[in-house]
Structure 1
Amino acid sequence: MSIFDQLKKHPITQPDSAYLAAHRFPDGNGFPPSYIDFATHLGWGKLCGLFLIYVPLGQHPDSWTVRSPWIKQAMDDFYEEMEHDPFLLEPDGYEGIEYSLIPFAMSENGEYLVWNLAHRQPNNELPIYILAARMGGIRYGAPDLYHFVEGCKNSEAIKTMLGPSYTKLPLTFEPLLLAL
Structure 2
Amino acid sequence: MPHSGEFRPPAEPTIGHVDLVALEQSVLPDGGPFPPSYRAFVRTAGWGRLFGLWLVYPPVRAGYADGWPGRTSRLTERFRAAFADGRAEGFDWMVEPDGDWPLAERLQVFAWSENGDALLWELGSRDEQGELVVWESRGLNSLHRLGVGLNTALAILRERREALAEGRPELDPLPGVRIAE
Higher relative contact order (CA 8 A, sep 6+): 2
Structure 1 gap ranges (5+): 160-165
Distance 1:126 1:171, change over 3 A: farther
Structure 1 distance, partners of 2:177, 2:157, is 28
The one-character-per-residue Cα deviations of 1:11-38 (angstroms, maximum 9, x if unpaired) are 4224201111111123321000000001
> After the TM superposition, which segments of 4 or more aligned residues of structure 1 sit over 3 Å from their partners?
166-171
Aligned to 2:128: 122
Deviates more, 1:101-110 or 1:71-80: 71-80
RMSD: 2.2
Out of 143, 150, 169, the position equivalent to 1:145 is: 150
Runs of 5+ unmatched residues, structure 2: none
Partner residue in 2 for 1:37: 40
* Residue in structure 2 matched with residue 162 of structure 1 by the alignment: none
What SS does the aligned partner of 1:55 have?
A: coil
Q: Deviations over 1:120-170 (max 9, x none)?
A: 11110011100111x11111112111122222233xxx49xxxxxx84766
Instruction: Tell whether 2:77 aligns with 1:73.
Output: yes
How many correspondences in the alignment?
168
CA distance in 2, matches of 1:80, 1:95: 9
Alpha-carbon distance in structure 1 between the residues aligned to 2:177 and 2:27: 28
Match of 1:24 among 22, 27, 46: 27
**Percent identity among equivalent residues?**
27
Q: Which residue of 2 aligns with 1:46?
A: 49
Partner of 1:7: 9
CA contact (8 A) 1:13 1:175 kept: no
| 1:68 counterpart SS class | helix
- 55-64 vs 118-127, which moves further: 55-64
2:101 counterpart SS class = coil
Q: Distance in 2 between matches of 1:74 and 1:27?
A: 19
Q: Does 1:86 align with 2:92?
A: yes
CA distance in 2, matches of 1:52, 1:11: 14
Q: In structure 1, give the amino acid aligned to 2:151.
A: Y
